[in-house]
Amino acid sequence: MSVSDRERWNGKYAQRKLSLPVQADDWLIKAVDTITDSCPVHKAAKRALDVACGLGQNSIWLTQHGWEVDGVDVSPAGLALAQQQATQLECAVNWIEADLDDWLPTSQSYDLAIVFRFLDRITVPRIVNAGLRSGSWLIYETFAAGQLDRPDSHIRNPQFALLPGELPTLFPEFEVITFREDTLEDRTVQRLLARRR
């Protein structure tokens, strides 16, 4: 990511106000339910990585459900808002300000990685593959090509939307548990739940 990316996100978040309660993404909630149903051990506290965490709502939700979470993002303004929400909700999240192009997690230190509405076909797989240990989980949702055709879409560049069936191909070392292409009320996305072999 460039300095301009950081400045763009800082400008976007400067206009935002805190809103409680925190609303986690519905795909995160459904996928975590699947994980805990299939692996009861995951009901105990485990480590999670939220890549490009933005305002941190998913990091906070995971923390509220027993996960120890590192939320990583390029925007200090977004992370400051995330910390305000976490403080109000008495949640301890480890926020990390980092340029994802240059950042790597500690090797094989996470049980779960989540990514929402962020697509970088090189950077995200590199981070996920570095951070997840064998048997760990990936929950991913980002925009599909159909998003480009929506009149309400803020995405115009095809580089930021997945081709049909593309998301699982970015993670060949993972077993696909669930893959869906969904047209929702406010977005068109691909959703993946996968487990590292």
pLDDT mean for each 10 residues of the chain (197 residues): 58 64 91 85 74 96 96 96 94 97 96 97 98 97 96 92 98 98 96 97
Residue 85 within a domain: yes
**What whole-number distance in Å separates Cα of residue 151 and Cα of residue 58?**
27
Q: What does the pLDDT read at residue 38?
A: 74
Number of domains in the chain: 1
The amino acid that residue 101 corresponds to is D
Q: What does the pLDDT read at residue 16?
A: 65
Residue 40 within a domain: no
Residue 57 within a domain: yes
Residue 20 within a domain: no
Residue 154 within a domain: yes
8-state DSSP, 163: P
Q: Token digits for 124?
A: 């995200």
**What whole-number distance in Å separates Cα of residue 116 and Cα of residue 28?**
9
pTM comes to 0.90
Phi, psi of 41 (to 5 degrees): -60, -25
Residue 10 within a domain: no
**What whole-number distance in Å separates Cα of residue 113 and Cα of residue 173?**
14
**What whole-number distance in Å separates Cα of residue 134 and Cα of residue 197?**
6
Residue 190 within a domain: yes
- CA nearest 182: which of 191, 172, 194, 174? 191
Q: What does the pLDDT read at residue 56?
A: 96
Give the domain range for residue 189: 27-33+45-196
Residue 39 within a domain: no
Which CATH number is 52's domain given? Answer: 3.40.50.150
Query: Which residue(s) pair with 196 in the sheet?
Result: 174
